Structure 1
């Protein structure tokens, strides 16, 4: 693989430069990455995350206050650092532990992150939250399947999250950036009784699945088996029947979708916690493409007008956490105008959301 040359100033999600840019990797990461200081950055500090060490501990102990930090640690599940550990630093984490990533895939996401326009993402996020905040109810539709689900986002305790745009000191963000979401509770803490109570109707799953696991390598074979069992969804749709944020049934839309529907139904029966629609996600990264594999960073994929995705389960509370990309779906306001997705329209708005929370799966 040829060397990958990236300049720190190419990574726009960090915003204004810091004197020190820190790259944290594991011993297993041996890809030919050359990270060069950009304008305003005087040095690049490279650290290795030792086996058994927590990311937050290494940052607090070894990274200067105010530095920018990028963590690329294949095979390691990284818990979000505590607020006191991160301090005024900015942290971006490539999710490279909960799903298997090859060196080539990591290089691809590093390159796409360097091409991502963080300022544009910030404008897209502002427009999204403004439109959502102006609308009493939202609707998720799949025109090809004719399914429709209504989401009353003012019902229950919804938490809005932003993993996109330019970071502020103390922020944590996924890498590459580009995801907005609403969860039934704080994103990193699974609450089995929490629900997106205002979500009712039918949702179509048709797109790439993602199956995250937690730290136990022994879960790897079952993770891969589950991913392969769900891959018919790439081309064959199933319908989820939702009541008050909970999946009440799964119906294949075609005969070819029946195996994936059966696998989903078995999962919901074996562990009813997966029935909770834990997260409605919205990928807005229009630079990256979908990697045709079980690949966590696929969650930021935004096509050209944004992509709806669904999240079930949160590790380690559940053995796996599942995400489903739904590129045919659209998110509409109460007047039928598209906020995001296949029928996107343009308009402005404003709404409060959390930008400092870490991603639930790294």
Structure 2
């Protein structure tokens, strides 16, 4: 096993091309550092997994935890889960996201607009890159690393319940750290106190607290949407399928792969550096259903088969 240190100011791709054997499996873990994805030429036939450790404040214990749990992850099972997910979605003209506890429901017609499906799960082939720990599928309004303010998930309409841990990513300016922490703390009541997002054509039109205790978090969201309307766009619908990891009760980017026992829906707002922060919200009580009511993922999960195309890359935008 070869251990290398990435010098200050150096690019990961440069280090890999210069110092790593051409058929190596590479894990990049650089706490507090933002990493650019290597080019195809730099990576060559190597396999690369990158722990996003710059956009949220990971501790040494968090990193040790993800290293331990990733060793128990089954990449082949992730691949099978992804195949089943995309088969079901590809066979359904419309999808529905429901929260049985609150009764909210939103419809997603993924045939409208330029949807891009992404997979960060399954087996790596030579030259592939993937986030670490693996286990996330998603659909975005455009290429995942390129924020287009006019792009949106046009087929998404209805009400969505936010109930779960928030994640607040920042970009490279360390001066944003205190405001990042303040925003995370202001949104943390969502863990136990849900709010409803009212969505029209992929844009958030309003926020309603479902309980009195959720009012401060709803007010914080409303302020964010008013101060920067780009956050109104539901930029990403994510689907965590990693059933090995547990949620870290902190502002922790790798929480996005959390899949509970049957998969977890999450929402993404904003993309750094176009927006100051990028937000993700875990919704572990929601379910994703096909048009005939079959549960693709979540609390009502069930499976069947079909087929569709998706993009697989390491560019999550928040390394």
SS of the residue corresponding to residue 218 of structure 2 reads: helix
The aligned runs of 1:46-85 (5 Å cut-off) are 46-85=3-42
Q: 2:111 and 2:167 mapped to 1: Cα distance? A: 28
**Is residue 137 of structure 1 aligned with residue 101 of structure 2?**
no
Q: 2:300 and 2:270 mapped to 1: Cα distance? A: 28
Deviates more, 1:280-289 or 1:169-178: 169-178
Superposition misfits of 4+ residues, deviation over 3 angstroms: none
Deviates more, 1:79-88 or 1:159-168: 79-88
Q: Which of these residues, 275, 283, 305, is aligned with residue 232 of structure 2?
A: 275
Q: 1:56 and 1:274 mapped to 2: Cα distance? A: 32
Q: Aligned residue for 2:150?
A: 193
The aligned runs of 1:295-334 (5 Å cut-off) are 295-334=252-291
Q: Aligned residue for 2:170?
A: 213
Higher Rg: 1
**Is residue 90 of structure 1 aligned with residue 47 of structure 2?**
yes
Q: Residue deviations 1:294-313, cap 9 Å, x none?
A: 00110000000000000001
CA RMSD between the two structures? 0.9
Q: Aligned residue for 1:225?
A: 182
How far off is 1:78 after superposition?
Answer: 1.2
How far off is 1:178 after superposition?
Answer: 0.4
Extract unaligned runs of 5+ from structure 2. none
Contact 1:80 1:359 in 2 (8 A): no
Q: 2:66 and 2:131 mapped to 1: Cα distance? A: 11
Deviates more, 1:170-179 or 1:228-237: 170-179
Aligned length: 319
How far off is 1:45 after superposition?
Answer: 1.4
How far off is 1:190 after superposition?
Answer: 0.9
Q: Aligned residue for 2:57?
A: 100
Extract unaligned runs of 5+ from structure 1. 1-43
